[in-house]
Every structure is written in structure tokens, then in C-alpha cells.
Structure 1
Amino acid sequence: MSLLSLICALILQLSSVNANDVSLDTYIVHVDLPDSRLLSDQSQDLESWYESFLPATIASSMGTPRMVIPSAMCFQGSRLSLTSEEAKAMEKKQGFVSARPQQVFPLHTTHTPNFLGLHQNMGFWRDSNYGKGIIIGVLDTGIVPDHPSFSDEGMPPPPPKWKGTCEFGVTGVCNNKLIGARHFRNGDGTPLDFDGHGTHTAATAAGTFVRGANLFGMANGTAVGIAPLAHLAVYKVCSSSCSESDILAAMDTAIEDGVDVLSISLGGPSRPFHDDNIALGAFSAMERGIFVSCSAGNAGPSNTSLSNEAPWILTVGASTTDRKLVATARLQCSHCSITALNETDVQGKIVLCNLGGWTTSVLQGQAVKDAGGAAMILIGEERQGFSTSADAHVLPATNINYEDGLKILAYINSSSSPTAAIVFKGTVIGHVNPTRANDPGLVYDIEPQDYVSYLCGLNYTSREIFIVLQRHLNCSSNSRIQEGRLNYPSFSIRSGSSDHTFTRTVTNVGEASSSYTVEVVSPKGIDAAVRPRTLNFSELNQKLTYEITFRRSENAGDNTVSQGGYIVWKSAKHSVRSPIAVYGADI
């Protein structure tokens, strides 16, 4: 076994022992290797070391099957099924670092590429060759392999570095687009997607061109992912929820398989990095040059509602495009609730229903159709505010927000013969620009060592540093920086009386000879000053540093409200913008 394997993980999955008599939880266990084993080439040597941490109650159990799965890359430790007493007893063993029960995480269209300025046979898409040769690893609910988005027409074979496999059990399921599919759900036995979430996220990332895609005739067009010539490797780690141990095992396997990108649309609440297994796996991937992209979560927008916030992860927030499928309801018909369908004549009528309750909106629509209803209007719940959703219904249907629903009810109650019609149409509402991002002019570079200094700046203990780095490090002999000193193209400060000064280093990737002048738009109540105000470059890849100081204005007023601003470095050709977020003193 290589040194690389020795410094990484062995995942041990133990089946339940007398499940009716004891309560077992899955624990994530981190251990340290003794010096005598660090350079061993014997896999059984490493295996015996991990097994030495098993409590005697398990090790001596008769007829207890144990499945030992060699693993690598992400963390130094194991996954064990233990009682709380057994986990406590393990803490006394030499080499023990930490153990805690695993978490279970929740899972977090045709027009989007065009909206982002990606056009076939021209511009950035053409210049980047549509992602050709890149392998994207997707951790999710699996995949439906015969979906047209995963056709391999025109796709080359995977790169020689690819080591993955296809676990569908029959030949011909995977192809040059879908080059790998593995499953990590206990007892599931297949990478097949029974949920739909994984198929959706995989197609969004790398689906091929599918012409004539539409939703019951609406939004007709060509559906395509952002990197249509990239290869896909799918790792099934979820059904309706996702366990940490499966996620970590899949990240580990994906790194070893040879992916270039990890796409993860799942996560839990914010935790310290040493206690966040997605952050741990992402750190190992980042150190090996793998780009990790994760969803920001389904919560918010509110303070501390972010998931996957480790700075070595690209955390992707929710947004929108300039298109909606909107139905305008013009009232001209009677209504009823879904519970009264069996007692009310709804034949040929538009039925007004409250969203939620005992069933889903799609099943509500089916019930309306079965009762003879012509269409359905769904009133959203009050807690959903102005949010609405677009589902694939079996009859004409529209979802309106709670406030609009109250207006409709008021109209119905005030009219002797209320009427309605549903008219579907498109609408435009007022983002990232891939073409301009491909020629940014200036970049804010960062190295893995910067993150190490940041971890030391968090005042992590030696044990906590070891869990993240998978190696020992004495922070007293390493530099320490706060999060504000990470070389990020953004600034976040707490409103207060003290000044905040940060430095940033930018690298010139535009014209060799170029000059940039700064424009500052300070957040309300804050004075921002940049020094120097001009950056003069004489060659490509030249690095220059600037300093920015934030000071509370004399007449700042309320400092409990969050504010925003930005700075822009402008040259004759480029404009490089950095946002400023000032959050309230009481946050």
C-alpha cells in the first residue's frame, strides 16, 4: 500500500449486532497512525491497526459479519456502528483522536445557458470546448441513465486517467457521457435514481443538447447542461436524505477514480470545519487540485442559514433567470376546497385549493381532474410569503401566493357569480457573465497554505488541526490569519466603532501593460478608503497589493442593520468588482 493510502482512511462498516438488544449508531472515528506504520506497505498491517480500536464487545461477538472497505484520500479513520458506551470506551485507546455520531443531511431548464450568455458555436462555450475532457463527479440520489441528457453521441472516450466503474450490473448502461456510476446507500444496491434530484443535478452540470424539451408544450427549446461535452461520474449517496459516512466514502472514491470536479447539492447546518465531513473531504480534494462546488442550502435568506461555507469550497447560492412560467388567473368560475370534492359538483370548473395539508400539489391536481375539474388554482401557505412553485400538473394549474389568495377569496365571497380563466404566458424579470469571467483582467489567487494559516487563526487545537489536515502541525510555528485576510475578492466586516484594514493581492492576467484605478461605493454608514488608488502593471502575472480600510462614519446612525457596497478596479478594457458586506453589530 502506498504512503498516500496509508495517510488516508479505512472505512469499516459493521452490521448491527443483536439489533433488538442494543441501540447502535454510526460513528465517524478519527485516529492517528503510529510512526511504525506510516511507511508500511502491508494493507493488513493498516487494517489490524484500525481493528484494534474496536471495543471488546464487538471484537468478541460470535458470528458478527464485518465488512472492511479499503478507502483513501479524505480522512484518517473509520466508520463504525457502536453503542454510546462503546464509543466512550474507545477514547482511552492510544491513537484515538475523535468520534461522534454521523449526521444525516437533506438534499438541497432549457433557457439558463442562453441567459448566461452561452451560445452554441460561438463565444466562451466554443472557446472552452464545452468542457470536453473534464470529469464531473456528482454526489446525489443517483441517475436515470437512459435519460436523453446522457446520450454519448459525439462524445470521446474518457481520459486515460479514469479509474472508475459502472455498478448497474449489466453492460451497456454507462457510455462515453456517463462513464461511471456507483452506489453507497446501504441495502439500495443500485445507482438508479428513484428520486429525480440526482438526475436533475447531473443534467444541469453536464447534460448534452436535447432539442424539443418542454413542459406540456411550455418553455419549448433545447435543454443542455453548462458543460455538455464533459464526462459524468455519479455517486449515489442519498435517497430522501444523505448520511455523512456515505458522502465521505463517495468523495474518497471519486478522488481516487480521477474526477476533476466534485458537484454536491446537499448539506447540513453550519458546523466547525473539523466537525464537517463535507468540508474535510473537500479539503483533501482541493489539495489534490480538484474543484469542489456545493449548494448553499435551502434555508434563508437569514443570518447563519448557509451550508457548505468552508472557504476552499465554491458555495453556490440560489438565483433566478429572466423567465417564469406564469399563469394569470382571471376569475369567472366557482370554487371549492379539495376536501369537499366528493360532495361538490366541480365538473368543468376551476377549483380553488389550499396548498399543503395531507397531500402534495400534484396529487391535489390529480384529485381535481378525477372529479371532473377543468383547472386548479393553488393558494400558497402564509409562511411561504411571496414564494410560488411550478410543478408538472395533469391539468391546467397555477400557484399563487398567500396574499393574492386572500384577494381571490374576497372576490369570491363578494360576488354572486365569480368567474375565472387561466392564461399561461412568459414574463421577464430583471448575473454572472461567463464570457467576461473568462477574461477577468485581474484575479485574486489563493494557495492551500493560506487555508492552513486560516485554520491556525481560528485557534483550533492540535487535534482539530490534525482532523482537517490529516497531518500534525504546530500552529505556534506557523503563520496565523483571520478570515478577513484570506485573499478573497470580497470583504465582510461587522459594524462597530473600530476600524478594519485588509490587504489584497491581485494578479494581472489581462494586458501586460495596464493601469487600474479604483472606484469605491461605500456601504451606508461606512467610509472605505483604498491605498494606492491606482495599480500600474508592466507584465503578465505580475502581482500588486492594495490596502482597504473601513471606518464608521461620524453620522452612521443605526449600526444593527446590514449594508452593502463595492469597489471596482477599472482599466481601459476590464472592470473588476469586489462586493462589501457590512453586517449589524448585533448579529
Structure 2
Amino acid sequence: MENTQHKVLEIMFPLGLLLLLLLLLKFSPAIANEQEPAAVGLRNMDDEQSSLQTYIVFTKKPEAAGANSLQHEDLNAWYQSFLPTATSSNHQPQIVHTYRNVVTGFAARLTPEQVKAMEGKEGFLSAQAERMLALQTTHTPYFLGLTKNRGWELWKNESNYGKGVIIGVVDTGIWPDHPSFGDEGVPPAPDKWKGKCELNGTVCNNKLIGARNCIHGDANTLSPYEVGHGTHTSSTAAGNFVKDANAYGNANGTAVGMAPHAHLAIYKVCSIEGCNSSDMLAGLDAAVEDGVDVISMSIVYYHNDYIPFHEDAIALGAFGATQKGILVSCSAGNIGPEHKTLSNEAPWILTVGASTIDRTIKATARLRNGAEFGGESVYQPKDFLPVLLPLIYAGSNGNRSSAFCKDGSLRNMDVKGKIVLCETGGPVSIIAQGYEVRSAGGSAMIVINRKQDGYTTLAEDHVLPATHLDYASGLKIKAYINSTQNPKATILFRGTVIGESSSVAPAVPFFSSRGPSKASPGILKPDIIGPGVSILAAYPFPTDSNIARKKTSMFNILSGTSMSCPHLSGIAALLKSSHPYWSPAAIKSAIMTTADVVNHHGKPIVDEKRSPADVFAIGAGHVNPSKANNPGLIYDIQPDDYIPYLCGLNYTDKQVEIITQRTIKCSKVESIAETQLNYPSFSVVLGSESLSFTRTVTNVGEAKSTYNLEKFVPPGIGIIVRPEQIVFSEVNQKATYTVEFIPHSHKQIGEINPQSHTGKDSKRYAEGYLRWVSDKYSVRSPISIIFA
């Protein structure tokens, strides 16, 4: 494959560098907070010189012909009727997207004055300036217990490979000629498929059944072609089997996605300059129109500000998809480890955090005194001799920019021929640090974590010999440098190591965003964690590291919740294939209630500090696909069940209508508290009064079965569950139980990250669980208690 590069690869080559730096988020969380896009989408020059900007305009559904029966032409005419008259030739309003599936409305280039003029028109609901969004394997199928040699259910035969299910990937596009998208063993697309293939000169196949560009701009220059992020996430979700896959000889094996015989439909909504909410909605709208079953979106907002659901384009589009029976899986975000940092908080979204796997691409730093410190690096040069070289700390001059090895910061330091010790945490990626070290004459680099990054290390594709070490190792190396006049070190490249006895996988990496939710504290988020650290998948593009070494690879290793999200999307597709009539909420419930809360050594899952991870880091726990396929009980939610929940958030009738696309009178709806939603977990904000909530479970296991209650009661409260035994006599039978939370003493209760949240925002919390156990099943619901 390395000899069959296409010309489009060459054309996109310089753009790809910017894509890598801006969009992949395989960098320090500090960058995610500091980088801002320079522009939005590909716009024409007239727009750039005027005051026009893109707004998403929400309208009521036209009543005349019944909204669902309207033709595109009728709906477009309805939307056109809202456009005001232009005030000048440069201010001509222009519709760039129309929506008919996930929301009712359109996106248009408008001036603020034109938006104001629309507000008085009959049928107008709201206009929101579009927001900027950001993009957030050979071993993971084995790690997750899917492969045949592990003896689990879900991959026991080819019928369990996701056949007949369509996964819509809303991302940056795809490189269609990659072997991961071959269609061997994949049946033709199902009859319900209505999509199309916009890949110029490339014919879609049974695996890649559709690809569309949804970025508004010059249609002649935009296509679904892409060679980075979207290709990686698509192959993770549903890539077909590719033997002898590796990244420069590391992580070698058969690369395969979670649902290898599912179909892929690609919706390009992100350009090299970022993702716009109007384009993202267009991608969701098209995916629903085309007939997908699962939607995978590794996209979050640039800023982690509170956004109510009626202003959150991802939440709005996902609700519209959910109403059509489509499960939407999204990244939790990459700006952990602080609490209250997650994105995609809506309860109808499957929100996915990241976990580590038990594979490392090992690169060990050895000091002159014999001490060794294990780290990671994808780049393992064969010609780097493990001889001791002078070792220098880049921050020894007292300059913090130098400590971070920022561009130009080492020019006045003597690093030639030396190993340079750099710190993470500055506004520069680890790869860019390597460029600075190399350009200044350094021979190799050791990167050490910040304190908050703890023990998480990433296998990066460096531009020179390097290794990434944890914080504790970094302190010891600094101490060594300060203790001797002639510090020296070397790096030993030891290749791929799997299942090391010291591995604590799965663990939560530092970057994985944490709850509790700001938009809805009564819903515990994230829902689940899945593999997101050092994930190998399709990436047939010369990264900046490859360019420096004049090498290419058909696969690359990336880290982020962008990688964990498609793992869950593919697993959801497997469950949909196995249980075609399960609702999105039922699939979510099966995934959550069967999740693992211990690592592969049977110990509690830990975080980046090697401390037990709390529920705001892991949600229900780590995904266990085969157990999810046979959960015993499920907590189901129908789309109409969200209406009392939304009214209970104190949204106005108009705000609820924007979300539901229906006229709603909350005064006539029996509103419910957030925690009353029939969710598979409990997130309780508890004051001085007791609170009581109900849950309804549906038996999807054995017809005649009895479940008994087990519970772990957090300190400081009491929990009473009635009844404590549930008996079923048939499949699909429902049963309801009540949980009462009783406040007692607040002593011996944990605290949410006191370093990050002080004063009014510092709230104490507790956590526990309740579990329904039968002879065959264990159905677990985590509990978080935040004391008001």
C-alpha cells in the first residue's frame, strides 16, 4: 500500500500538517484551552469582508401539509419566507443548509439586523450564531474480549460482526482506498439505505456505502476525502480485517474495528480550520435521512462553558436522531483531569470517556547511575545506539518557555549532541517539542509529565529518538541532574509489550474529561469509558514525524476520547445487529449496567494518579461488550419520556420545542426531577430532605428469573429500596422499584477536586451502587451523591 499513494494525498499534504496540529487533540490539555480557530469553514471573500455570519435559525414546523409529508421544495419555500430583504449587495442573506430530520430550521449567512427582523415572523423560534467545534486496532478487540480465542459470545461467529448495521461517522471525511475499508465478507447495503457516494473517481463498496461532504462552501473544491482523524475513527468503529498491520513495526497484528462487517457512511463536517455547528447539524440531518443505525461523533465544543441543551447543536441533532431510533455516541472531551470538564452531557447521548489498554510501545530512559524509567514512543529507530549521552534539563536556565521546549526557546542553549529533558503542559504539542530539540541540535528527548498528568504516558510518533515518562519518574531524573556535574542518559527501545504484570489497565488517563454534568447535574456523566490511549488504526498519511524521516505508514497510533468514542459506536452496532429492536436507550443501558469496575487484576479501576477512579471519571465503568450483549435487565427510555425531564430543567415551552420539534406546554406536562428519568445510573443532589425516585426495568434475559438487591451505601446517607426482590415470569416483562435517599451525617465524605473547585463551587460528594443479581445476571447502577 505504501507504493500506491494518490495525487490527492500530495495535494493535501501541507494541509494535513495543520489538521494534525489543530484537530487531533493528541496534545496537552493546555492547548485545547488556548488554541482558537482563525476562521470558520471555507467562505467566499465577499462574506469575509461583510458583517454576515452564519446563524442556525429554528422554526416551528409548518402546519399546512403536515411537516413529515412536506417535500424538500415546500420546506425550502417555508424557510425562504423567513429571509429579510438585503440592505446592500454585500448583505444578501443566503441559506447554506436546510434541516428536516434532526431539527426544524436552516442555517443562513445573515447580519445581526436581519436576524432581528426575523424575530417577529410567525413560526420563528430562535436564531443562534453557530459555534466552533473541535475534534477530540490491533489489540483492543482482544483486550475487550471480542476475539474468538478469548471464548466470548459476541464474535463467536461471523454473524456477530455487525452485519446489516450502518454506522454514520460524522467527522473529517475518509481515505476510501485504505485496506481497512475493503468489503470482503461484507454483504450489500440494506434496502433502507438512501445515501450516496460523493467520492470523485472512487466507487464506494459494500463496506463504505456512502460518503458526503456537508461543509458549506465551494462544492467543486470540497469532497469527503480525508486522510487523518476521520479515517482513524471510522476504522476503529468498523474497519475490516487487515493482517500484518503496524506502526513502523510496532503494535503488529491484525487490525480490525469493533464491528468489522458493519457498513460505514461518512459525513464530512470538519475542515482543516475546525468544525462548524451548522455543518455538523447538516451531517446529522443527512445521516438520519440516509438511514443509518448508529452515529459516531468524536466532536466537542472548543470551550467547556455551560451550554443548555436548546443551544447545544450536538444535543439538538442527537435528540432528533434518537427520536428516529438512532443511537448517538460522542466523546466526553480531552480536558481532564479536573471535574466539570466534560462535553456532550445530554442523557440521550452515549458519552464516552477514555481508558488505557495493557499494551505499551516501550522506550526506557536509563541514567548513568543505572536507574531506569519506563516510558513510551511509537518511533523506535534501529540506528540509535544506546550509548550514554550528556543529559540537560531544558528549563535549567529558569525560562519556562525553555522548560516546555517551545519553538525557538532552545536557540541560546547548548543542547547539541545531548538528550534534552522537556516538560509537558506548555502551549506546544509533544511532537513540536521534538522539532525544537532537533532543530537546536539535540540528539534525543525525554518528555516528563506535569503533576496533574500523573502516570499517564502516550506512545507518540516522534521526530527524533524520544520517550514519554510519568511525573514521578520526571522528579527523579531532575533530582539526578541536580546531583551530578556530568549527568548522562540514553534511551533503550524495547518495542511492543503486552500484558505486563505492572499494568493497571484499564485506567483513566489524565486527559479524559470528568463529570459531574453542568447542564444536567441529575444525570451521571460520562456514561462509560473505553480504549482511548495509544490506539492503532487506519491513518495512511505522512504525519509531520513521517515527513521528517521520509517514511510513510498505513496505520498510526493516536490517543484521545476521539479514539474511545468509535470503540463504543462499533460495540453499539454489534448490539444493534444482535438485538435489532432494542431502542438507543436499551443499548445504552446494556452497555452501562454490565460495565466492569475493576481492572484485569481484579482491583478497582484507577485514575492518572493510581488512585481509585471516581464515578465522575468512569461513569458506569469500563465497557464489556460480551456481557452487554446479554444484560438480563434494561432501563428503557422512549423519546416522549424526555419531555417531562426537559420541562423539569425549567426550560421554556419555546426552548423545549426547539429540542423536540413539537409544540409543548410544560404547564400541562407532569414535569419530573432530572434523577427521575429512567436512567441506568443515579446522580442525586441531596440537601436536608429525603428524595425518592423510581426506576422501571425490563426483563430481556431468562423468562423465569428472580433478582435480589445488593447495594453499597455511601457514607453520610441512607438508601432504602422497595422492593428488594423482583420476580419475572416472562421475557419483556417490566417491574418498577423505588429508591429513597436519606441524608445523615456529612462526615467521612469525599471532596470534588478541592484544588480546582474552591469556595461556592466546592461540594462534597459520596458514591455507591445498587445491583440486581440473579443466578445468571448482575445488573449494576452506579450512584453519585452531591451534597447541596
TM-score norm. by structure 1 comes to 0.89
Aligned counterparts of 1:71 and 1:83: Cα–Cα separation in 2:
21
Aligned counterparts of 2:71 and 2:142: Cα–Cα separation in 1:
54
For residue 77 of structure 2, what is the amino acid of its counterpart? S
Q: Which residue of 1 aligns with 2:434?
A: 365
Residues 359 and 445 of structure 1, relative CA distance in 2, 3 Å threshold:
closer
Q: Which residue of 2 aligns with 1:9?
A: none
For residue 636 of structure 2, what is the amino acid of its counterpart? D
The Cα shift of 1:379 comes to 2.9
For residue 126 of structure 1, what is the amino acid of its counterpart? K
Aligned counterparts of 1:134 and 1:234: Cα–Cα separation in 2:
14
Partner residue of 1:278 out of 306, 311, 314: 314
Deviations, residues 465-510 of structure 1 (Å, cap 9, x unaligned): 2111112122333332221111112111124321121111111222
Q: Which residue of 1 aligns with 2:660?
A: 469
3-state SS of the aligned residue for 2:693? strand
Partner residue of 2:703 out of 499, 503, 512: 512
The Cα shift of 1:303 comes to 3.8
The Cα shift of 1:558 comes to 5.4
The Cα shift of 1:154 comes to 2.4
Q: Does 1:26 align with 2:54?
A: yes
Deviations, residues 299-349 of structure 1 (Å, cap 9, x unaligned): 2344432211111111111222223334331113312446557874744x5
Q: Which residue of 2 aligns with 1:5?
A: none
Partner residue of 2:84 out of 55, 68, 81: 55
Q: Which residue of 2 aligns with 1:440?
A: 631
Partner residue of 2:169 out of 138, 163, 167: 138
Q: Please tell me whether the aligned partners of residues 14 and 80 of structure 1 are also in contact (alpha carbons under 8 angstroms).
A: no
Q: Which residue of 2 aligns with 1:319?
A: 355
The Cα shift of 1:206 comes to 0.5
3-state SS of the aligned residue for 1:317? strand
Q: Does 1:582 align with 2:785?
A: yes
For residue 146 of structure 1, what is the amino acid of its counterpart? D
3-state SS of the aligned residue for 1:168? coil
Q: Please tell me whether the aligned partners of residues 193 and 199 of structure 1 are also in contact (alpha carbons under 8 angstroms).
A: yes
Aligned counterparts of 2:104 and 2:773: Cα–Cα separation in 1:
47
The Cα shift of 1:293 comes to 0.9
Aligned counterparts of 2:493 and 2:486: Cα–Cα separation in 1:
23
For 1:111-260, list aligned pairs within 5 A.
Answer: 111-120=139-148, 123-126=153-156, 129-172=160-203, 174-185=204-215, 186-187=217-218, 189-194=222-227, 196-239=228-271, 240-260=273-293
Residues 551 and 450 of structure 1, relative CA distance in 2, 3 Å threshold:
same
Q: Which residue of 2 aligns with 1:8?
A: none
How much identity, in percent, do the aligned residues show?
A: 53
Residues 75 and 218 of structure 1, relative CA distance in 2, 3 Å threshold:
same
Alignment RMSD: 2.9
Q: Does 1:109 align with 2:178?
A: no
Q: Does 1:500 align with 2:531?
A: no
The Cα shift of 1:367 comes to 5.8
Aligned counterparts of 2:423 and 2:97: Cα–Cα separation in 1:
49
Aligned counterparts of 1:345 and 1:556: Cα–Cα separation in 2:
54
Aligned counterparts of 1:345 and 1:50: Cα–Cα separation in 2:
63
Q: Which segment drifts farther, 81-90 or 99-108?
A: 81-90
For residue 296 of structure 1, what is the amino acid of its counterpart? A
Aligned counterparts of 1:28 and 1:360: Cα–Cα separation in 2:
34
Q: Please tell me whether the aligned partners of residues 689 and 742 of structure 2 are also in contact (alpha carbons under 8 angstroms).
A: yes
3-state SS of the aligned residue for 2:354? coil
Q: Which segment drifts farther, 536-545 or 548-557?
A: 548-557
For residue 26 of structure 1, what is the amino acid of its counterpart? T
Q: Which residue of 2 aligns with 1:99?
A: 127
3-state SS of the aligned residue for 2:284? helix
3-state SS of the aligned residue for 2:643? helix
Aligned counterparts of 1:82 and 1:66: Cα–Cα separation in 2:
7
Residues 148 and 14 of structure 1, relative CA distance in 2, 3 Å threshold:
closer
Gaps of 5+ in 1: 1-12
Aligned counterparts of 1:285 and 1:252: Cα–Cα separation in 2:
8
State the structure with bigger RCO (CA 8 A, min sep 6), 1 or 2.
2
Residues 469 and 353 of structure 1, relative CA distance in 2, 3 Å threshold:
closer
Residues 534 and 368 of structure 1, relative CA distance in 2, 3 Å threshold:
same
For residue 275 of structure 2, what is the amino acid of its counterpart? C
Q: Which residue of 2 aligns with 1:408?
A: 477
Deviations, residues 381-403 of structure 1 (Å, cap 9, x unaligned): 56645543321124431112455
Deviations, residues 408-435 of structure 1 (Å, cap 9, x unaligned): 1221232233232323453321432221
Aligned counterparts of 2:747 and 2:426: Cα–Cα separation in 1:
47
Q: Which residue of 1 aligns with 2:391?
A: 335
Aligned counterparts of 2:90 and 2:57: Cα–Cα separation in 1:
23
Q: Please tell me whether the aligned partners of residues 14 and 65 of structure 1 are also in contact (alpha carbons under 8 angstroms).
A: no
Q: Please tell me whether the aligned partners of residues 526 and 556 of structure 1 are also in contact (alpha carbons under 8 angstroms).
A: no
Gaps of 5+ in 2: 1-40, 369-388, 395-404, 505-598, 600-621, 751-762
The Cα shift of 1:584 comes to 3.6
Q: Please tell me whether the aligned partners of residues 15 and 64 of structure 1 are also in contact (alpha carbons under 8 angstroms).
A: no
Q: Which segment drifts farther, 101-110 or 295-304?
A: 295-304
Q: Which segment drifts farther, 263-272 or 137-146?
A: 263-272
Q: Does 1:562 align with 2:592?
A: no
Deviations, residues 520-542 of structure 1 (Å, cap 9, x unaligned): 10112121121111112122222
3-state SS of the aligned residue for 2:223? coil
Q: Please tell me whether the aligned partners of residues 16 and 24 of structure 1 are also in contact (alpha carbons under 8 angstroms).
A: no
Residues 286 and 42 of structure 1, relative CA distance in 2, 3 Å threshold:
closer
Q: Does 1:398 align with 2:467?
A: yes
For residue 113 of structure 1, what is the amino acid of its counterpart? P
Residues 345 and 254 of structure 1, relative CA distance in 2, 3 Å threshold:
closer
Q: Does 1:378 align with 2:447?
A: yes
For residue 177 of structure 1, what is the amino acid of its counterpart? K
Deviations, residues 344-389 of structure 1 (Å, cap 9, x unaligned): 4744x53333446686433443565677755321234566455433
The Cα shift of 1:27 comes to 0.6
Q: Which segment drifts farther, 410-419 or 66-75?
A: 66-75
Q: Please tell me whether the aligned partners of residues 97 and 107 of structure 2 are also in contact (alpha carbons under 8 angstroms).
A: no
Aligned counterparts of 2:390 and 2:99: Cα–Cα separation in 1:
63
Q: Please tell me whether the aligned partners of residues 514 and 536 of structure 1 are also in contact (alpha carbons under 8 angstroms).
A: yes
Residues 582 and 308 of structure 1, relative CA distance in 2, 3 Å threshold:
same
